Amino acid sequence: MDQPQPPERGTTADVFFEPGQRKNFLNAMNRRLQWLDKLGVLKVSMRAGDDGLPTYDGMPEEPVDERVGTIIALLDASPRKTTHVVWRKLSDELYRMLTAEIKPTATEVLSKLNLARSKYMKDFELIDAFREKLSNPATAQDLVEDSILSWCPQTMARIIRYDASTLSDPDWWNLNADEIGGYNMSSSSLIRVVISEMDYARAAESNDRLLLYLELAAEVLRMLMSCQANGPLLNALDHQIEGLEAYIRSNAQEERLEQELQ
């Protein structure tokens, strides 16, 4: 059975297209650009870049404020209730930076992106490691005594864009379950089942029943992780991170050359 995998680096186009459609879009974009070139309306020969947008060899990087606008559009275009809450917060922060009197630097934007990425990956890896332990009989039984209610529900809720605290709190789920159900019924039902199966495992009268409940919890957790849509968005943001890093390196090289010429 396929297991959720850590997202791999990808491109801006990945967030807008279903798997398998991206190649067709890039081919269509290239055909249109080639036709425009033949019509003589382009000053340079253009092509579709890895991000799906028109580009040409040697094209300068976008100004930082325009790049920030692109990033905000990516964050706001993602499925709202199946992506991590950190992306909503990042969109709000970048918008405030973009509309401030003093425009953000590339380094400041890159820092915000990397911080948000690290917060998402921490939650992703925490849940994925928990699922792997539940799936392994050698490690699953140790989790029965683990107080998962102090952290697991909050982590799962953040992954589906509910603003849950990162502080350990064993009462958090009981206090917030109904509100999360109203926010996202399908995903909250999966969270509820994971918690119920863990409760059943604690009360199991035999080792076989205990392992069965833990196996069911692992399967439902896998379902939750397969439903979340953070992967394509993270791929697109990784492409933006690479672009900002290249922009910063390019500016640093230009500054060094200017200093050498002085």
Please state the domain extents for the chain.
Answer: 16-60
- Rounded distance, CA 252 to CA 262, Å? 16
Q: From first to last of its 262 residues, what are the pLDDT tens digits of the chain?
A: 444 444 444 445 555 555 567 777 778 888 888 888 888 888 888 888 766 778 777 776 667 888 899 999 999 986 767 889 999 999 999 999 999 988 888 999 999 999 999 999 999 999 999 999 998 888 888 887 768 888 999 999 999 889 999 999 989 999 999 998 887 888 889 999 999 998 898 888 898 999 999 999 999 999 988 888 888 889 889 989 988 888 888 776 655 555 555 5
- Rounded distance, CA 12 to CA 182, Å? 32
Residue 10, CA distances (Å) to 7, 108, 112, 226 in order? 9, 22, 19, 18
- Rounded distance, CA 21 to CA 52, Å? 11
